[in-house]
């Protein structure tokens, strides 16, 4: 996996797909970084305009009031998630994965993070070849974001 910063986008090249996180998406991540020891994990969903093997991630939804948040955990509101998926789908954008913050500089997914994205994969009817998991840490991009592809 190679991660670079190109034209203010974070570009990640996987074996099967190239993921571009747009400046708009990075702005959402930035706004929710877990900078204080007391701040809580935040997260949401990622939506992309898929052009062949290039996934342009152009929208990231933020935390909702019905989400339950703690410093080391994040439980999304599943009904709101399905509504977000439907809304973006009618605008031509595919649901391509989830993101959340971690209180560490260069973030890595926890065992539980991997378990939950695998669970989403199993329970979803997907139109994509897999799902992304983005973890947002404290370091500047691209070091401060971890992107993994799960299929």
| Residues at the site binding Zn ion, with contacts judged by CB under 5 A | 110, 113
Task: Give least dist CB 20 to Zn ion, A.
Answer: 23
Compute the C-alpha angle 100/111/83, nearest 5°: 40
CB closer to Zn ion, 137 vs 142: 137
CB closer to Zn ion, 56 vs 102: 102
Rounded alpha-carbon distances, angstroms, from residue 23 to 8, 14, 56: 6, 20, 11
Task: Give least dist CB 101 to Zn ion, A.
Answer: 8
Residues 6 or more apart in contact with residue 130 via CB below 8 angstroms: 16, 17, 121, 149, 150, 151
Task: Give least dist CB 38 to Zn ion, A.
Answer: 17
CB closer to Zn ion, 94 vs 113: 113
Task: Give least dist CB 69 to Zn ion, A.
Answer: 12
Counting Cα atoms < 13 Å in the Cβ hemisphere of 128 gives: 30
Rounded alpha-carbon distances, angstroms, from residue 60 to 36, 38, 121: 22, 24, 19
CB closer to Zn ion, 19 vs 133: 133
């Amino acid at each position: 996996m190679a991660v670079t910063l190109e034209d203010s986008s974070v570009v990640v090249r996987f074996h099967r797909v190239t993921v571009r996180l747009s400046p708009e998406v990075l702005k959402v991540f930035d706004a929710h970084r877990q900078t204080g020891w007391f701040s809580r994990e935040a997260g949401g969903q990622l939506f992309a305009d898929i052009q062949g093997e290039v996934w342009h991630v152009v929208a990231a939804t933020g935390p909702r009031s019905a989400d339950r948040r703690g410093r080391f955990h994040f439980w999304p509101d599943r009904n709101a998630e399905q509504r977000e998926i439907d809304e973006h789908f009618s605008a031509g954008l595919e649901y391509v994965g989830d993101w959340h913050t971690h209180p560490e500089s260069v973030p890595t997914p926890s065992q539980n993070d991997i378990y939950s994205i695998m669970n989403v994969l199993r329970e979803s009817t997907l139109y994509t070849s897999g799902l992304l998991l983005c973890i947002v840490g404290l370091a500047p991009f691209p070091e401060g974001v971890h992107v993994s592809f799960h299929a």
